[in-house]
Structure 1
Amino acid sequence: MPHSLPYWRLSGFYFFYFAFVGAMAPYWSLYLRSLEFSALQIGILMSLLQVMRIFAPNIWGHVADRTGRRVAIVQMVAAICVVSYLGVFFGTGFWWLFAVMSLISFFWSASLPLVEATTLSHLKDRTERYGNIRLWGSIGFILVVVGLGAMLDHWPVESLLWVVLVLLIGVALFARFIPEAEINTLETEQASLRSVLKRPEVIALLAAAILMAAAHGPYYTFFTIHLVDAGYSKTLAGWLWALGVICEIGVFLAMPRVFRRLRAETVLLLTLAAAAVRFLIIAWQVDSLPLLLFAQMLHALTFGAYHASAMALVHRHFRGRNMARGQGLYNSLAFGFGGTLGSLYSGAAWDGLGAGVTFSLAAACAALAAAVFAWKGRRPASA
């Protein structure tokens, strides 16, 4: 096993993985609306990018923990994901896209938890360097979200299909170069996964993660539509998405110093409160560009600082042979169950209740997450 950190190989994977997210989250709903789907249909189809994360990460995480071959699984599912995606070029009906997007999601959602576990295994006790690797995902997201926003003001929305294909190919190529990492099994020989899941602080963390992902459902499904309907151009919409991620990069770089001053639990609680404020601004102040800019700057907390602190806590609670399954469970519950819930309630509420109420529901989810985590999540983890 190589002892040096494979920084650029891991960073390249994160770059293309989140570049794909930068194409799908802001703009795929615009493509679906161009096919004249209703808000509920768009919500259902967008939820498929999350719903398979309820099952797939646990399935693949279990296989990875049993075999110890995390990267081999990532390489396989990335290649299958590219092949599955080709189906979008052969049909535009609701049920056809439902089937194709389900298949894409099942394989796509398997890779990130395994790469996260692999990255943390390579880092060993240097987890403070996680943000330096993860920031390349943010850079990929920014480049794509800004470039596509400008492109779609001049090109038909169908051009998005080809950009996404190129990005998925990039994910598959970089997956081929990530080395396997040594898995330390000694520190969890006496701790079963079930015993870890019974700890109050772990239950609170997972509950808060579900609610936080649900809070982001309207954002990832309808934020671009919300902006376009308010009169903003797609180019400006792209820059507003990018602003949040630009601020996020600064947070990732600063997190090692932040964690030397504040506990991960404290950081996480602050980010949950910030999310409630952010979504209330988006709900009722979309016409105010200065307030909208401030709300997007809060993305540095509601994604960057939140993700870094959540990963630190997941890494603390799920060790050794439990690591891949712990990552899989976290992704399944948070981004899978929580993300699906967020997409579905936003799709159901959008046409009938409007954007303001829908984003207010998002703020309520974030506030409830903060309350749950403040109640039980700040207990010190077991030794």
Structure 2
Amino acid sequence: MLFGIIFSYFKINFIYVFIILIILTNITSLYFLEDKSVKKEKESINFLIAWKFWLALILMQISFGGFYNFFTIYNLNHHIPKEINGWLWAIGVIAEIGIFLIQHKFIKKFHPLFWIKLSILLTSIRWFMLYIFAGKVIFIALSQLIHAFSFAIFHTSALLYLSKIYKNKTLAQQFYAGIGYGLAAFLGSIISGWLYGEHLFLYESVIAILGFLIML
């Protein structure tokens, strides 16, 4: 968040600094990866018992391709200064952190599938707002608040759901990360490159709503 805000006021290319920070973060995280307190299960994962979820997860993360790769470029093309873009990114991060801090108070009041469906639906609305309100900072800022659901609530609910239906929770979470934030994110980057243009976020909205309809 701070990286996005601070460096948006400089005209220097900080991409190399960003790459170095990512590498250092990953190296540091290697020391904290293994949790020996977690009991390792040998049971395999049957994707068919939750195929709707897995397919919706893929579509959900594909729809993020345009956001992660072209959000700033899209806004710049609609005359939103890069300094404002830094703050727009920050709003999403603040919303995400904020909901993580308080979600324990309400998230278990409904079944995880309820929150998953709601998060996907709101994400589709979020991308549609970027399309119809292109260049309008206030509405884009409001759409960034939905990141609380698009990422935080969706992520937590997905993990809760997987823990309910799979005995091998560790393997389920590994597949969740690999499929959602690996494979689907990769596909989302490629597809968003093909779709980039004035209608990019309209397409992303349609992709997300398909995931919602599958979950129904």
TM-score normalised per structure 1? 0.53
Identity %: 22
**Letter of the structure 2 residue corresponding to residue 252 of structure 1:** F
Are positions 1:182 and 2:15 aligned together?
no
What is the Cα deviation at residue 235 of structure 1?
1.6
**Letter of the structure 1 residue corresponding to residue 203 of structure 2:** L
1:340 equivalent in structure 2: 186
What is the Cα deviation at residue 291 of structure 1?
1.1
What is the Cα deviation at residue 178 of structure 1?
5.6
Q: How many angstroms apart in 1 are the aligned matches of 2:125 and 2:118?
A: 11
Runs of 4+ in 1 over 6 A off after TM superposition: none
Q: Is the 8 A contact 2:130 2:140 kept in 1?
A: yes
1:168 equivalent in structure 2: 23
With over 3 angstroms needed to count, the CA separation of the structure-2 counterparts of 1:316 and 1:144, relative to structure 1, is farther
**Letter of the structure 2 residue corresponding to residue 198 of structure 1:** L
Computed over aligned residues only, the root mean square deviation of the Cα atoms, in angstroms, reads 2.0
Are positions 1:222 and 2:70 aligned together?
yes
Please give the residue correspondences for 1:75-114 in structure 2 after superposition, counting only pairs within 5 Å: none
2:44 equivalent in structure 1: 193
Structure 2, gaps ≥5 residues long: none
Q: How far does the alpha carbon of each residue in 1:131-178 deviate from its partner, in whole angstroms, 9 at most, with x for none?
A: xxxxxxxxxxx222222323xxx2321x32023303421332243256
Please give the residue correspondences for 1:124-273 in structure 2 after superposition, counting only pairs within 5 Å: 142-150=1-9, 154-157=10-13, 159-177=14-32, 180-185=35-40, 192-194=43-45, 196-199=46-49, 202-273=50-121
TM-score normalised per structure 2? 0.90
Q: Is the 8 A contact 2:117 2:215 kept in 1?
A: yes
Instruction: Give the 3-state SS of the residue equivalent to 1:193 in structure 2.
Output: coil
Q: How many angstroms apart in 2 are the aligned matches of 1:170 and 1:272?
A: 30
Q: Aligned match of 2:171 in 315, 325, 333?
A: 325
Q: How many angstroms apart in 1 are the aligned matches of 2:206 and 2:139?
A: 19
Q: How far does the alpha carbon of each residue in 1:295-332 deviate from its partner, in whole angstroms, 9 at most, with x for none?
A: 1111111111111111222233344xx33432232223
**Letter of the structure 1 residue corresponding to residue 70 of structure 2:** F
Would you say how many aligned residue pairs link Structure 1 and Structure 2? Answer: 216
With over 3 angstroms needed to count, the CA separation of the structure-2 counterparts of 1:169 and 1:268, relative to structure 1, is same
**Letter of the structure 2 residue corresponding to residue 278 of structure 1:** R
2:162 equivalent in structure 1: 314
Structure 1, gaps ≥5 residues long: 1-141, 375-383
**Letter of the structure 1 residue corresponding to residue 174 of structure 2:** G
Instruction: Give the 3-state SS of the residue equivalent to 2:38 in structure 1.
Output: coil
**Letter of the structure 2 residue corresponding to residue 193 of structure 1:** S
Q: How far does the alpha carbon of each residue in 1:7-39 deviate from its partner, in whole angstroms, 9 at most, with x for none?
A: xxxxxxxxxxxxxxxxxxxxxxxxxxxxxxxxx
1:297 equivalent in structure 2: 145
Higher RCO (Cα < 8 Å, 6 or more apart): 2
With over 3 angstroms needed to count, the CA separation of the structure-2 counterparts of 1:303 and 1:179, relative to structure 1, is closer
1:59 equivalent in structure 2: none
Q: How many angstroms apart in 2 are the aligned matches of 1:235 and 1:173?
A: 30
